[in-house]
Structure 1
Amino acid sequence: MPKDSQPDNRSERRSRGRPARPARERLLDEVVAHFARHGVGDFSLRGLAAELGTSHRMLIYHFGSKDGLLVEVVRRVEAEQRAAMAQLNLDSGHSAADLAREFHRHLSAAEHWPARLFFELTGQALVGNPHAVPLLEGIVDDWLPPLTELSRRTGRSEEEARAHARLALAVARGLLFDLLVTGDREAVDAAAEAFLVSYETVSPSGRSARSPG
């Protein structure tokens, strides 16, 4: 094990009464923040390590390789997006449709580098590239609980909400792909709205009805 792989962080054991985050998680935080500021581009582990004030040995120790690091970056961004969705679900003061529109704005207003990286690495995973295959774990199933919860708020049954959640995930990813390919935000927003009306409250007849106004 590299000598510097376990830095002495005893002084950081407690922060506002909570244990310090593991070194790997803190380093991943820094990598994601760096990419958010500068984009991914054509980087090297040595160059990235220098920018972060660490060593490339630390990056290799925690993530194995450049490709392994990128997979973990995508998984972290996906986890943060799911957390944002879960947080929206706690909002009882707005309709499901309002919350779904807010989440669409959140995704489409974000920098494009996470989406580009997501599609690139997912393609590699689907053809069996070993470094990318771990990305497939939970890539659909982890999104279904928060999306199902949002769909349930429309009055759908549990079964209907699960099916609607899967459709919502497919639509969101398809529209992100559309935006990356065409750059036509106006058309993507219009297409999103055509789907987002399905979050209006479902009537007893099974049809969604727009709220007044």
Structure 2
Amino acid sequence: MKSSGREQLLHAALEHFAEHGVGDRSLRSIATSIGTSHRMLIYHFGSRDGLLTEVVAAVEAAQREALAELTAQPGTAPREVVLRFWATVSAAARRYGPLFYELSAHAMQSRPHAVQRRETLVEPWLAPLTDLMRQAGVPPEEAPVRARISLAVARGLLHDALVTGEFAQADAAVAAFADLVLPAPAAAPRP
């Protein structure tokens, strides 16, 4: 399937921001950097804030799609889902992680392009993570709390790995955390 000009521009902007950060660059400067005109960016996104809003949405959608794909695989143990999702996210974070945290900071500062991020940064993740906890055998009343803790721990470990470059240690910490937060699978009954 061929992507549209809008999708190509969005992808080029995402890659540009991943490489250089968002900063306070003008729409003209961004357009020049990605090989288009500011008029094309205005046509497709309305403004710099509109472009950044779409970049935020694209980053969030890709992560949620990855989790949805993993949880949709029948017979995959919740711990395996957690470890596979971590591997997917941490691999992508080597490229997009600094952008993720920069845009998260923009949400904390209530910048116009990131205001919606306040609604998408945590809340949409809680339902699928709560379901995963329940599938693992976490009691229903504890599952939402463990889901929120898991999201916070994963983001903290991701931040640490991006700052220090110690992804192997973060991988080990995620595996240890999964053992702590997810109940051990029930042993098969002996014949």
* Structure 1 and Structure 2 fold alike (TM over 0.5): yes
* Structure with greater Cα Rg: 1
Q: Which residue of 2 aligns with 1:57?
A: 39
Which has the bigger relative contact order, CA under 8 A and spacing at least 6? Answer: 2
* Deviation per residue, 1:92-115 (Å, 9 max, x gap): 222111111111111112252321
Q: Which residue of 1 aligns with 2:160?
A: 178
The answer as to whether partners of 2:49 and 2:112 remain within 8 angstroms in 1 is: no
The answer as to whether partners of 1:125 and 1:132 remain within 8 angstroms in 2 is: yes
Distance of aligned partners of 1:46 and 1:22 in 2 relative to their CA distance in 1, 3 Å threshold = closer
Q: Which residue of 2 aligns with 1:167?
A: 149
User: What TM-score do you get using the length of structure 2 for normalisation?
Assistant: 0.79
Report deviation, 1:198.
Answer: 3.7
Report deviation, 1:90.
Answer: 1.0
Please say if 1:86 is aligned against 2:75: no
Q: Distance in 2 between matches of 1:24 and 1:157?
A: 45
Report deviation, 1:140.
Answer: 0.6
Q: Distance in 1 between matches of 2:13 and 2:138?
A: 40
Q: Which amino acid aligns with 1:41?
A: H
Please say if 1:75 is aligned against 2:57: yes
The answer as to whether partners of 1:59 and 1:65 remain within 8 angstroms in 2 is: yes
Q: Which amino acid aligns with 1:47?
A: T
* Deviation per residue, 1:55-75 (Å, 9 max, x gap): 321212333444542342232
Report deviation, 1:22.
Answer: 7.4
Please say if 1:46 is aligned against 2:31: yes
Q: Which residue of 2 aligns with 1:129?
A: 111
Q: Which has the higher helix share?
A: 2
Q: Distance in 1 between matches of 2:166 and 2:83?
A: 18
* Deviation per residue, 1:128-186 (Å, 9 max, x gap): 33333232222111111221221111112333222111111111111111011111122
Q: Distance in 2 between matches of 1:59 and 1:211?
A: 55
What SS is found at the alignment partner of 1:158? coil
Q: Which residue of 1 aligns with 2:184?
A: 209
* Deviation per residue, 1:171-213 (Å, 9 max, x gap): 111111101111112221221112111464xxxxxxx22577x
Q: Which amino acid aligns with 2:94?
A: H
Distance of aligned partners of 1:111 and 1:171 in 2 relative to their CA distance in 1, 3 Å threshold = closer
Q: Which of 94, 106, 128 is the matching residue for 1:146?
A: 128
With 143-152 and 191-200 compared, the bigger mean Cα shift is at 191-200
Q: Distance in 2 between matches of 1:157 and 1:22?
A: 46
Q: Distance in 2 between matches of 1:111 and 1:123?
A: 16
Gaps of 5+ in 2: none
Q: Distance in 2 between matches of 1:127 and 1:111?
A: 22
Report deviation, 1:80.
Answer: 1.0
Q: What percent identity do the matched residue pairs reach?
A: 44
- Structural RMSD (CA): 2.8
